[in-house]
Structure formats: structure tokens, C-alpha cells
Amino acid sequence: MKERPSVLLVDDSRDMLELLRRYMNNMGLTPFTTNNVVDAIEVLEQGPVDLVITDLNMPDVHGTQLVRYIAQHFPQVPVLVVTGYPDVQVAVDVMKMGAVEFLVKPVTQDELRNAVEKALGANTTPPADEPAGTIGIPGVIGRSVAMQEVFRVIERTRNNQATVLVTGESGTGKEVVARAIHYNSDRSSAPFLAVNCGAIPDQLLESELFGHTKGAFTGATTNRAGFFQAADGGTLFLDEIGNASAAVQAKLLRAIQDKEITMLGATKSQRVSVRLISASNSNLLEMVRTGTFREDLYYRLNLINIHLPALRDRAEDIPLLIHHFNSKFCKEMGKKPLRMSAPVLDALQGYSWPGNVRELENFIHRSVIMKDGAIAMDDLPEAMKASVPERTASKELRSIAEMEKLHIQHVLEATGNNKTKAAEILGIDRKTLREKLK
């Protein structure tokens, strides 16, 4: 520990800041003061701080956002919360975010001294509890309301022949849901085939789906069965169905209506028994309106719709998914599951996950490969950490003179009011500094 550890005090009450400043000086600490969260973050960015003591109920930006930001960007800095509005749930929440102590105003100097000594003496975060395992249908994970509805639809439709259209953003797990329907159905012993319609050239997709006869086109030297024949008795999953050409759409419509397909180049059709599940991250209904997707086919495919929510809309499922992928990949590599602190878990739950479950899976897989023991806050990309809270318009509109004054005050506080050292840091001489102080 340094001879005079520095403490950042954050409170919108000028009287409280002055009281805390006196307490810190009496304890032999160097205090900095700010009256809002955004300025506090600016101080943290400018130089090292050993401890932060913050209020919660402040105008513009709440103190809980500061606690979260520090836990994610400055995990080595302990945080004490001192508030005049005690609330058990708020206390639990800020402790989970990373605060080491929660004190209620009015606070005595002895209470504060004990909390400060505790914070500066040990800054560790316990590993977050591991959540329970899979919830819902085997193969699909989630406890959120949105996922419970997905489970309900899967359960109602898994043993019938109804076509299913699975929609949702890329990476939400549409194929996972299709597999869950198949492997929890009475067709589970039959084949499950997944076809990415967007990955097969348009001129080949018809042949790949329905097969072709010898001589049907240049290079067709033998008869070849398609995916419909190969999936007979089982399930065929057509991903990115919106990429299918008009010719393929017409033949799909007939296959669904008549349960028959015709190989490319053949004159006779053949019956098949295939459960058809389709998926798209495109808006098929909009494609119907623009004439790029057949309306009759859309309603045939969309007999049952399962919409998968984006991961950002079911953040409560993130700990379950992390635990699942952590256990899965560590088991594959013969490693013990990685641990992570509550602030790390909070950061992962607060991230928007534009790549959805696939992005989360890749992150955990990469972490298992690269790390041993635990995932620390420093291991998270900056994009996964909390961003600087925005001021309200009234706070943003400051003059250059006001900003200069604030910066000079921060530097003076950081140097213990040493004007010579402050002038060096500011890049001006002592005379200029004296003039500005006037």
C-alpha cells in the first residue's frame, strides 16, 4: 500500500463531501471529491485511485452505474457505498456488482474507518455461484418467460406432422430448436438432416433437395437421391429458406401439399414422409409483400411459428448458458470449469450480445482454451464492459473555463495541493497557475 492511499469521494451533497474529506484526512488518506458519476469516472481515467466511496441517489446518473462501471473497468479498485436511503434489495444488488461495503448515513468516523481498512486490506471478489443446469426441453436452455413459451410450443408440436417455421436473429439457436423437436419426438430414431439453403448455389439447390436422374443436366452421370429422400421417415431442417429460388419454392409447396417429390429430370413422383422445419432470420412476410417469396408457401411453412428471442432480451438465461458451455468445453479439454466473479458475470449479463447465443458460446470456448482457473475482468473485451454513462443536457453544456477549473481542481487534489507538481502536470508555470487560481 502507498504511504497516502488516494480515495475518490462521490456525493451530490456538498456538506457530506466536506465531512468525508475531513474523515479521510484524519485517516491519513488523500481525498478527491466529485458531485456526480460522470466526473468521478473522469477522475478514475486520469490517474490511480485506491478506493472509491460513493453515494447512490444522485441526479442524472445513479450511483449503481458507477459501482458497475468500476467493477468492470477498474476491478482492482474497491468501492464503499454510503447512502441515506437504505434498501435491502439495493444493498444486495450493489454487493453483487462488486461493492465491498454498504453503509447507511449518518455514518460515524469509526464505522467509516473500519470499512476503509477492510476495503484497502483485502480487495478480492468471490467466484459467482454456478447456476442450475438445463431447464426446459433437453438440448435447449433457458428459464426466461420467452423461453418457457418456446418450450411449451415444442412440447405441443413435437409428435405431429405440422410444419414449423423458426424465426429469430442469427445466432439465436434455430437449428438447436429444430433438433430438439426431432430428438424429443417419435421420429427420433429416424434421420435428422439440416440444409443451409443460403450456402448452396441457387442452380444446385433444387437438385440437392429433390435429387436428379442420370442425364438431367451436364455432369449428372448417375441417379442421385436428394435430401428429401435421405430424410424419409425423419425430419428435414431447411435453414435460410428465404434464399430458395422461385422454382424451388414451387416444388417445396407441392412436396408439402401432396407429400410427393419429383427428382430433377424424372417424369414420375415418389411419396416421402418428412417432417419439415424451416428457419429464417429474414422477414419472410415482408418478402411476401415484395413478391420475392410465395405467399402460399409462407403460410404452408408457417403453420406453427416458434420465435426465438435475442439473447439481450433474455439476460436471465445468460448464467445458465455460461455454465452449460463452460462445463461442456472444459469436459472436452479435460479441465476444471473456469470460475468468474460476480462483477464479471454482471458484465456478461449487461452486454448486448449482437451475435446472440453463438457469440456467447464462442467467447466461453475461447476463454476455456486460453485461460486456467478463472475469467477475470481484464480478460473481457472493452465492448463487454459498461460504457461511460451519458450526462443529461444540462450537465453536458459546460464552458471551456468550467472544464478547465474542474481539471485544475482534480490535479491539485491528486498532488496534495502541491502547486509546483500540479503546474508540471498541467504543462504551465507556477505564475500561470496562480493567476488561474485567482
> What topology does CATH give the domain 6-127+389-437?
Rossmann fold (3.40.50)
Residue type, 232: D
pTM (whole model) above 0.85? no
The DSSP-derived string for 38-99 is: HHHHHHHHHS--SEEEE-S--SSS-HHHHHHHHHHH-TTS-EEEEESS--HHHHHHHHHHT-
Residue type, 351: Y
CB atoms within 10 A of CB 422: 22
What pLDDT score was predicted for residue 182?
A: 93
Q: Give the SS3 label for residue 30.
A: strand
Cβ neighbors of 267 (< 8 A, separation 6 or more) are none
Q: Give domain 145-307's CATH superfamily.
A: P-loop containing nucleotide triphosphate hydrolases (3.40.50.300)
What pLDDT score was predicted for residue 129?
A: 44
- Cα dist. 162→13, 58, 181, 271, 305 in Å? 64, 55, 11, 17, 10
CB 282 within 8 Å of CB 333: no
User: Can you tell me the distance from the alpha carbon of 76 to that of 94, in angstroms, rounded to the nearest whole number?
Assistant: 16
Q: How buried is 104 (Cβ within 10 angstroms: 0-12 exposed, 13-18 middle, 19+ buried)?
A: middle
Cβ neighbors of 316 (< 8 A, separation 6 or more) are 143, 144, 349
Q: Which cell numbers in the block locate residue 438?
A: 485567482
Residue type, 356: N
What pLDDT score was predicted for residue 294?
A: 95
The bridge status of strand 270-271 relative to strand 260-261 is antiparallel
Q: Which cell numbers in the block locate residue 219?
A: 455432369
Domain residue extents for the chain: 6-127+389-437, 145-307
- Cα dist. 160→156, 173, 238 in Å? 9, 22, 18
User: Can you tell me the distance from the alpha carbon of 438 to that of 434, in angstroms, rounded to the nearest whole number?
Assistant: 6
What pLDDT score was predicted for residue 262?
A: 86
Question: Is the alpha carbon torsion for 231, 232, 234, 237 positive or negative?
Answer: positive
Instruction: State the alpha helices, DSSP H only, in 243-350.
Output: 246-258, 284-289, 295-301, 318-333, 342-350
Does 6-127+389-437 match 145-307 in CATH topology? yes
Interaxial angle between packed helices 88-97 and 342-350, expressed in degrees from 0 to 180 and rounded to the nearest 10: 100
CB 140 within 8 Å of CB 147: yes
What pLDDT score was predicted for residue 218?
A: 78
Alpha carbon distance, N-terminus to C-terminus of the chain: 35
Residues written for the chain: 438
Instruction: State the alpha helices, DSSP H only, in 278-418.
Output: 284-289, 295-301, 318-333, 342-350, 356-370, 393-396, 400-414
Reply yes or no: is the peptide bond before residue 75 cis, omega within 30 of 0: no
Q: Which cell numbers in the block locate residue 143?
A: 428459464
Q: Which cell numbers in the block locate residue 4?
A: 497516502
Query: What 8-state DSSP symbol labels residue 128?
Result: P
Closest CA to 252 of 182, 301, 197: 301
Q: Which cell numbers in the block locate residue 176?
A: 438447436
Question: Is the alpha carbon torsion for 239, 240, 241, 247 positive or negative?
Answer: negative
Q: What pLDDT tens digit does each residue of the chain (438 aa) get?
A: 345 788 999 998 888 888 898 888 888 888 888 989 988 888 888 778 889 999 998 888 888 889 988 888 888 889 999 988 777 778 888 888 888 888 888 888 888 888 898 888 744 333 344 444 445 566 688 888 899 899 999 989 988 889 999 999 999 999 999 999 998 899 988 999 999 998 888 778 888 898 888 877 777 778 888 899 999 999 999 999 999 989 899 999 999 998 888 888 888 888 999 999 999 988 999 999 999 999 999 999 999 999 999 999 999 899 989 988 998 899 899 999 998 887 888 889 889 999 999 999 999 999 999 999 889 888 898 888 876 666 554 445 566 777 777 778 777 776 667 787 777 777 787 778 887 887
Helix (H) or strand (E) holding 103: strand 101-104
